[in-house]
Amino acid sequence: MKWLGVDYGLARTGLAVSDPEERLAFPLATLRLEDYPGRKAFLAALAERIRREGAGGVVMGLPLPADGRESLTTRQVRNVTERLKRRLDLPVFFMPEFLSSEEAWADLRDAGLTARKRRAVLDQQAAVRILASFLALPPEQRRPA
């Protein structure tokens, strides 16, 4: 099955997609909230993009602080996920994430990208890390949203 990974952010949301064999994750796109008239239009566009990619399921990165307690950002991701689930007839899963953007930045730096190019694809690379972590889990350890 093809999965779509989401690194949700208040300004930018990175997307990644897996191969149908669920082995690899690839960067897909970055959606910027400022490109839409509001959050409702943004969520509609995100849902449409997920459908257009033919994803069989969605993996939302769930940012958890080091102490494991829910933060404001964690609650925002849960809220957006619930709103997205109402627009899709697909399974949606959470993948806990710790420092995915920082690790993605290091990945891109190690690949030789300039700081400017790194910023352009950072959110996509964070989504790749989230999705790749999810794909590496045995199915019984995957947490539905």
Rounded to two decimals, the pTM is: 0.86
Alpha helices in the chain (DSSP H): 39-52, 72-87, 100-110, 115-136
Phi, psi of 21 (to 5 degrees): -85, 0
- 92 vs 143: CA distance, rounded Å: 9
Q: What is the pLDDT along the chain (145 residues), one digit of tens a residue?
A: 999 999 999 899 999 999 999 999 999 999 999 999 999 999 999 999 999 999 999 999 998 877 777 888 899 999 999 999 999 999 999 998 865 566 655 665 555 555 555 555 668 889 999 999 999 999 899 989 8
Closest to 83 in 3D by CA, of 42, 37, 124: 42
- Write the single-letter amino acid at 143: R
Domain 3-144 in CATH 1.20.1630.10:
no
